[in-house]
Chains A and B, each alone.
Chain A
Amino acid sequence: MADVDAAQRALEDALGPSEVLSDPLSRALYARDASMVEGACALVAFPRSLEDVVACVRIAGEHGLPIVPRGSGTGLAGASTPIADALVVVTSKMTRILEVRPEDRLAWVEPGLPNLDLATALAPSGFTYAPDPSSQQTSSIGGNVNTNAGGLHCLAYGVTSNHVLALDLVLPDASVVRLGSEAPEAAGYDLRGVVIGSEGTVGIVAAVCVRLTPLPPDVRTMLFDFETVEDCAATVSAIIASGVVPAAIEMMDHGIVVAAESFAHAGYPTDAAAILIVEVDGTPASVRAQSEAVERAAREHRVRSVRVARDEAERGLIWKGRKSAFGAVAQIAPHYHLHDCVVPRSSLARVLAGVYEIAARHGLVVTNVFHAGDGNLHPLLSFDRRVPGTLERVLRASDEIVRLCISVGGALSGEHGIGLEKREFMPLVFTDDDLAAQACVRTAFDPDGRMNPHKVLPEGARCGDFAMARGADAAGAAASLPEGSWI
Chain B
Amino acid sequence: MAKLLIGTAPVLSCEGLQKSYGDQPAVVEVGFDIAPGETFGLLGPNGAGKTTTISMIAGLLRPDAGSITVAGERMSPTAAAAKGAVGLVPQDLAIYPDLSARENLTFFGRLYGLAKQPLRTRTDEVLEVIGLTDRAGDRAGEFSGGMKRRLNIGIGLLHRPRLLILDEPTVGVDPQSRNAILESVEQLSGEGLAVLYTTHYMEEAERLCRRIAIVDQGRLIAEGTRRELVATLGEQDLVRLEVFGDAVAAAEACAGVEGVRSADVEESTVVCLMHGAGSRLASLLGAVAEQGATVTGVEVREPDLEDVFLHLTGKALRH
Whether both chains belong to one complex is answered with no
Q: Using a CB–CB distance below 8 Å, which chain A residues touch chain B?
A: none
Q: Using a CB–CB distance below 8 Å, which chain B residues touch chain A?
A: none
